[in-house]
């Protein structure tokens, strides 16, 4: 029989305590609080909407565009040309177009200006106004995609559902076996009294 030093056993038990159990998996895979309010049908339509969204499908008249001088090096171009683009989109106009599941994520975005209740997106990365305007709409598109990935849970395949059900069943059986073994151990201690 192999004997393990006490420290090895302690380390093994400590390592086992940190292994993910089914309950931690359930917590990790549970829907986000914002997604729990919506039906599967609404989440499905939101997924379809997100899959069809591109920077070009966002209406160009959704907000107010302003141009100003950009900062940084660039010589005469920076001094004389208003190439920096600021896209200011009132929240009321964007929320009408976006599925309701994304609203909370949009409000918590880094582009959200609470004072004006709008999204303010700026770009001065290139020397061209048109390119900077396109970059603003790309940033808006990225915001919507990230909000969608955060707020809308992915679809679970039937194979994955079966796998999770099997894991739940195995976890439950293991828990019951452990409880029975513990119960038998305690009952054997009670009944092992000596008759003197």
Is the predicted pLDDT of residue 147 greater than 50, yes or no?
yes
User: Which token pair is 125?
Assistant: 């990365």
What is the rounded average pLDDT for all residues in the chain?
Answer: 78
Confidence (pLDDT) at 171: 95
Higher pLDDT among residues 38 and 18, named by residue: 38
Decide: 75 and 83 in contact? Cβ < 8 Å: no
The model's pLDDT over 53-109, given as tens digits with 9 standing for 90+, comes to 888 888 889 899 998 887 766 666 666 778 889 999 999 888 888 888 888 889 999
Quickly count: other Cβ atoms within 10 Å of residue 4's Cβ. Answer: 10
Question: Which sequence spans correspond to the domains of the chain?
Answer: 35-151
Is the predicted pLDDT of residue 154 greater than 80, yes or no?
no
Q: How sure is the predictor about 143, in pLDDT bands with cuts at 50, 70 and 90?
A: very high
Looking at CATH, the fold of the domain delimited by 35-151 is given as Double Stranded RNA Binding Domain (3.30.160)
Rounded Cα gap, residues 119 and 136, in angstroms: 11
């Amino acid at each position: 029989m192999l004997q393990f030093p006490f420290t090895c056993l302690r380390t093994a038990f400590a390592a086992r305590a940190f292994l993910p159990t089914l309950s931690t998996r359930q917590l990790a895979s549970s829907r986000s609080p914002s997604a729990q309010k919506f039906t599967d049908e609404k989440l499905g339509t939101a997924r379809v909407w997100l899959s069809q969204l591109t920077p070009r499908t966002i209406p160009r008249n959704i907000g107010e565009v302003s141009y100003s001088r950009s900062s940084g090096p660039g010589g005469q171009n920076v001094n004389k040309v208003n190439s920096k683009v600021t896209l200011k989109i009132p929240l009321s106009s964007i929320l009408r177009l976006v599925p309701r599941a994304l609203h909370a994520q949009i409000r918590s975005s880094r582009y959200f200006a609470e004072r004006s209740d709008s999204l303010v997106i700026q770009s001065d990365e290139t020397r061209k106004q048109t390119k900077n305007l396109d970059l603003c709409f790309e940033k808006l598109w990225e915001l919507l995609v990230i909000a969608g990935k955060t707020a809308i849970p992915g679809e679970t395949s039937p194979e994955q559902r079966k796998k999770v059900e099997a894991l739940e069943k195995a976890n439950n059986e293991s828990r019951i076996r452990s409880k029975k073994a513990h119960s038998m151990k305690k009952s054997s201690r009670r009944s092992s009294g000596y008759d003197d």
